[in-house]
């Protein structure tokens, strides 16, 4: 009142001062009103804001392509439907109040309206003791059920709109709520074009629901070359990243095959973004900053030929009975792996969205072994195909030579070793020189020559071809095979071991190993390191990063075999296919001279036969060898009857393709 009294007085200075004070008070009151009323909500949001969190952004995986750039594995854009939980807070609160009222009503409590601020203050100082109607555990239960009820209702509306049957459990929602509240909750991982059209044409009004475009790993050829290319699985955590990032968006890691062996090159470098979260753990809509762009993974250019791979798998699929086997095709001139098939196979796309328990159980069937790469990881007795190595060793040690290859040995249809050891012979009794013994696959002939040669020389030549060692494809699924050690053979057992070894028992090889042996025989004695990767190219074509090449034709061993011995062996392998009495005649191809050797190895448990492994090892053409083709089939009838026809179809494809290329060049 003193201030207003001064206004009524006549002193001008006091009046000016009074009006100034009043104006200042009005300005102060206006500022307080603006801060507390107009901008109150904004300051409240700022008060809730606490800190930034870093999110790991996975890079797109690099492509895997064949030698001509055709894709085995690539990335496809996919639309995903997410729910941002921070935008559902009002619905959560409403649902929680509804559940609370229902719970109180079920207990007979009076459902009174909200008392307001004054009522709550009065009740706080009231002497009447309050009755606790809801415990802390029940309050948490209400909150969880409220959240799940709201999200379930949204998902139900999505299902009705899109014709889907998506189900998300309360456990999934709670896990996401507890660990990754600032990130979107995924609802539908794979939308069809029709579903995307519905969303874009009809609009979308559900709160918190957003359509996201994400890259997804894709194998456009399905099962083709699956064991070599491999598969990926979704990955939620990484030991090397967990300390650097608060959150990580799900990416992929290699499971098997090239996807696993070269995972680091393929997945590139992750990026990062920073998100602003509030005290409740929610993201701030305007607080998202991209820190680092993800770097696309390298493109892996293989030595495989996609067209040939298709022909190989088609040929193998025509085997009668259970399709369990493998085919390997190698370029004999440099060791390049041109095709590799293992059957039965699988579809690597099955892991992209998470494989079902039933499908996983099927793939792990102990007999079929769908995930087992028989071409690189399967280790089997080579049977009579090993007679190629036995023959070379005999030639190089003088047991066989150009002068005695036509000398005949009389066989009885079996070989008796000592008094009690009898080894069966698939060739009938009769007289055999080297060529006839080779094409008729006479065990007796090669046992006699092998016994003269001795076990040390046989083992030495097996190791010269690097049997018993990893081929060097740099895959995780790569077996060494077994070559026995000389010191493990007791003196009394040496003759029997030698006899068995000379006809392909006592040791195991993989189809890839045998293909490299045949390639070395075909090219005259050069054992190459096999090459599966041609080069690594930067995923970003505008990148200045150099192309990393893997040199072709790296020599592992020079066998230094005399040319005359190679020629004799080549002629015998040609006759095994070209002559009607040869065991490999079913691989004969018109206008393309195939050279081969059949083999059958019995798998026994004690004296009981439990399986039969059949082989056909070959190269062609005879005049100018370019391809080595090895076919292996488990539980086959014979190498000539089961495996040779598979090789024939492959060589027919190669012949026709070369003719087409030649005609194209002439035109």
- Find the CATH number of the domain harbouring 443: 3.40.710.10
Asked if pLDDT for residue 111 goes beyond 50, the answer is no
Name the percent of the chain lying above pLDDT 70.
Answer: 85
Q: Which of 281, 509, 518, 579 is nearest to 392 (CA)?
A: 518
Residues 87 and 159 in one domain: yes
Give the domain extent around 512.
306-346+375-666
Q: Residue 195: inside a domain, yes or no?
A: yes
Q: What is the pLDDT of residue 614?
A: 96
- Domains: count for the chain: 2
Asked if pLDDT for residue 75 goes beyond 60, the answer is yes
Instruction: Say how far apart CA 424 and CA 439 lie, in whole Å.
Output: 17
Residues 381 and 297 in one domain: no
User: What CATH number did the domain enclosing 72 receive?
Assistant: 3.90.1310.10
Instruction: Say how far apart CA 566 and CA 500 lie, in whole Å.
Output: 24
Q: Which of 273, 302, 331 is the last residue of a domain?
A: 302
Asked if pLDDT for residue 121 goes beyond 80, the answer is no
Residues 260 and 409 in one domain: no
pLDDT tens digits, one per residue of 272-324: 877 666 655 555 555 677 778 888 899 999 999 999 999 999 999 999 877 89
Q: What is the pLDDT of residue 4?
A: 53
Q: What is the pLDDT of residue 237?
A: 58
Distances (CA, A) of 125 to 76, 119, 122, 128: 65, 10, 5, 9
Give yes or no for a contact between 528 and 406, defined as CB atoms under 8 angstroms apart.
Answer: no
Q: Residue 364: inside a domain, yes or no?
A: no
Asked if pLDDT for residue 243 goes beyond 60, the answer is no
Residues 223 and 252 in one domain: yes
Give yes or no for a contact between 120 and 128, defined as CB atoms under 8 angstroms apart.
Answer: no
pTM for this predicted structure? 0.83
Choice among 109-118, 426-435, 508-517 with the minimum mean pLDDT: 109-118
Residues 287 and 390 in one domain: no
Give yes or no for a contact between 79 and 193, defined as CB atoms under 8 angstroms apart.
Answer: no
Asked if pLDDT for residue 631 goes beyond 80, the answer is yes
Q: What is the pLDDT of residue 377?
A: 96
pLDDT tens digits, one per residue of 449-477: 999 999 999 999 999 999 999 999 999 99
Asked if pLDDT for residue 67 goes beyond 50, the answer is yes
Q: Which of 302, 320, 354 is the last residue of a domain?
A: 302
Angle (deg, nearest 10), helices 306-317 and 644-666: 150
Instruction: Say how far apart CA 149 and CA 14 lie, in whole Å.
Output: 68
Residues 298 and 319 in one domain: no
Q: Residue 224: inside a domain, yes or no?
A: yes
Q: Residue 37: inside a domain, yes or no?
A: no
Q: What is the pLDDT of residue 28?
A: 83
Residues 195 and 244 in one domain: yes
Residues 280 and 403 in one domain: no
- Cis ω before 300 (30° cut-off from 0): no
pLDDT band at 90 (very low <50, low <70, confident <90, very high): confident
Instruction: Say how far apart CA 330 and CA 541 lie, in whole Å.
Output: 31
Q: Residue 35: inside a domain, yes or no?
A: no
Q: What is the pLDDT of residue 645?
A: 97
Residues 241 and 199 in one domain: yes
Q: Which residues contact 265 (CB under 8 A, 6 or more apart)?
A: 62, 297, 298, 300, 536
Q: Residue 454: inside a domain, yes or no?
A: yes
Q: Residue 128: inside a domain, yes or no?
A: no
At 505, list the tokens.
Answer: 């028992």
Phi, psi (rounded to 5 degrees) for 365? -50, 125
Asked if pLDDT for residue 428 goes beyond 90, the answer is yes
User: Please, what sign has the CA dihedral across residues 19, 24, 27, 32?
Assistant: negative
What is the average pLDDT score of the chain?
Answer: 86
pLDDT tens digits, one per residue of 328-383: 999 999 999 999 999 999 999 999 888 888 999 999 999 999 999 999 999 999 99
Residues 339 and 383 in one domain: yes
Residues 515 and 582 in one domain: yes
Instruction: Say how far apart CA 346 and CA 343 lie, in whole Å.
Output: 9
Does 45 or 529 have the greater pLDDT score? 529
Name the percent of the chain lying above pLDDT 90.
Answer: 54
Beta partners for residue 422, in sequence order: 416
Classify 56 in phi/psi space as left (phi over 0), alpha (psi -120 to 50) or beta.
beta
Instruction: Say how far apart CA 313 and CA 518 lie, in whole Å.
Output: 21
Distances (CA, A) of 590 to 586, 593, 619, 648, 655: 12, 7, 15, 10, 9
Q: Residue 270: inside a domain, yes or no?
A: yes
Residues 166 and 141 in one domain: yes
């Amino acid at each position: 009142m003193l201030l207003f009294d001064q206004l009524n007085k006549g002193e001008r200075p006091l009046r000016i001062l009074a009006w100034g004070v009043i104006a200042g008070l009005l300005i102060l009151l206006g500022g307080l009103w603006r801060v507390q009323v107009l901008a109150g909500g904004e300051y409240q949001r700022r008060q809730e804001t606490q800190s930034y969190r870093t999110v790991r952004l996975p890079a797109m995986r690099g492509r895997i392509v064949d030698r001509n750039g055709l894709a085995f594995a690539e990335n496809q854009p996919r639309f995903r439907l997410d729910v941002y939980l921070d935008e559902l807070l009002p619905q959560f609160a409403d649902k929680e109040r509804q559940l609370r009222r229902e719970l109180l009503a079920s207990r007979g409590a009076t459902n009174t309206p909200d008392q307001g601020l004054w009522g709550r203050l009065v009740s706080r100082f009231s002497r009447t003791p309050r009755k606790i109607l809801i415990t802390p555990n029940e309050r948490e239960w209400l909150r969880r059920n409220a959240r799940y009820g709201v999200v379930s209702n949204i998902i139900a509306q999505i299902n009705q709109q899109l014709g889907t049957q998506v189900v998300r459990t309360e456990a999934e929602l709670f896990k996401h709520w507890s660990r990754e509240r600032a990130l979107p909750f995924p609802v539908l991982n794979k939308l069809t074009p029709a579903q995307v059209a519905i969303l874009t044409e009809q609009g979308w009004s559900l709160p918190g629901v957003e359509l996201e475009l994400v890259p997804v790993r894709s194998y456009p050829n399905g099962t083709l070359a699956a064991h070599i290319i491999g598969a990926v699985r979704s990955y939620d955590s990484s030991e090397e990243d967990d300390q650097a990032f608060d959150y990580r968006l799900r990416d992929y890691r290699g499971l098997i095959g090239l996807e696993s062996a070269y995972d680091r090159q393929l997945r590139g470098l992750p990026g990062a973004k920073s998100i602003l979260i509030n005290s409740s753990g929610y993201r701030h809509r305007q607080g998202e900053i991209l820190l680092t762009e993800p770097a696309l993974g390298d493109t892996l250019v293989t030595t495989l030929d996609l067209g040939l791979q298709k022909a190989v798998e088609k040929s193998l699929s025509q085997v009668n009975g259970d399709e369990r086997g493998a085919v390997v095709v190698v370029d004999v001139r440099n060791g390049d792996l041109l095709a590799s098939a293992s059957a039965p196979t699988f579809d690597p796309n099955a892991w992209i969205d998470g494989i079902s328990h039933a499908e996983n159980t099927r793939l792990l069937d102990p007999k079929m072994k769908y995930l087992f790469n028989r071409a690189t990881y399967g280790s089997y007795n080579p049977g009579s195909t090993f007679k190629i190595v036995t023959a070379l060793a005999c030639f190089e040690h003088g047991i066989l030579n150009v002068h005695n290859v036509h000398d005949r040995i009389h066989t009885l249809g079996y070989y008796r070793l000592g008094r009690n050891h009898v080894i069966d012979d698939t060739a009938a009794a009769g007289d055999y020189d080297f060529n006839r013994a080779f094409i008729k696959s006479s065990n007796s002939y090669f046992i006699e020559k092998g016994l003269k040669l001795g076990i040390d020389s046989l083992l030495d030549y097996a190791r010269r071809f690097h049997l018993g060692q990893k081929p060097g494809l740099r895959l995780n699924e790569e077996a060494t095979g077994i070559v026995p050690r000389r010191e493990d053979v007791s003196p009394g057992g040496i003759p029997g071991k030698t006899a068995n070894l000379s006809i392909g028992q006592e040791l195991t090889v993989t189809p890839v190993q045998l293909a490299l042996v045949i390639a070395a025989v075909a090219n005259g004695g050069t054992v190459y390191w096999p090459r599966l990767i041609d080069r690594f190219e930067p995923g970003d074509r505008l990148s200045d990063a150099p192309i990393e090449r893997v040199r072709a034709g790296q020599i592992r061993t020079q066998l230094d075999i005399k040319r005359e011995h190679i020629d004799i062996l080549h002629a015998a392998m040609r006759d095994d296919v070209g002559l009607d009495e040869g065991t490999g005649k079913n691989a004969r191809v018109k206008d393309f001279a195939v050279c081969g050797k059949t083999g059958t190895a019995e798998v026994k448990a004690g004296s009981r036969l439990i399986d039969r492994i059949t082989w056909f090892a070959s190269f062609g053409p005879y005049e100018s060898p370019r391809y080595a083709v090895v076919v292996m089939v488990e539980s086959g009838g014979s190498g000539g009857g089961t495996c040779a026809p598979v090789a024939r179809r492959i060589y027919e494809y190669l012949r026709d393709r070369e003719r087409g290329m030649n005609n194209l060049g002439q035109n």
